[in-house]
Amino acid sequence: MYCEGCKRLYSGGTRCPSCRRPGREPLPEDLVVVCDRPVLFAEMLSDILRSEGIENMKQGILGAGLSSILGMQAEKVSILVPYALLEEAKEIEEAFFAGNFPEEAGKTQTEE
């Protein structure tokens, strides 16, 4: 299910576990949060995604409630992509943070 309020996917139940808003099936153009990262990494990941042809948006997490949940990590940024590109974006994100080096993650490599 997809929450329009949180821009996140969740499974189980028909209401968002975070905000209790009723969810719905995601549409290809729905923006979905790929990950939350510190500002610096979010900027790098955003550039990499764009260079891979994946349009994306950055959204700062500034809510007081959220920052206490995240343990004072207020300076985090969410990266959002259209649902249709989510899997691709996740793969790039994982490669990026596994390699931990922007130049390496910029290369397109198929592992399967």
**C-beta closer to Zn ion: residue 66 or 74:** 66
Residue number of the CB atom closest to Zn ion: 16
* The token pair that represents 66 in the structure block: 């959220």
**C-beta closer to Zn ion: residue 12 or 53:** 12
Region 10-49 residues binding Zn ion, contact defined as CB under 5 A: 16, 18-19, 21
Distances (CA, A) of 110 to 50, 66, 91: 18, 36, 10
- Neighbour tally for 44: CB within 10 Å: 16
Which residues in this chain contact Zn ion in the complex, by CB under 5 A? 3, 5-6, 16, 18-19, 21
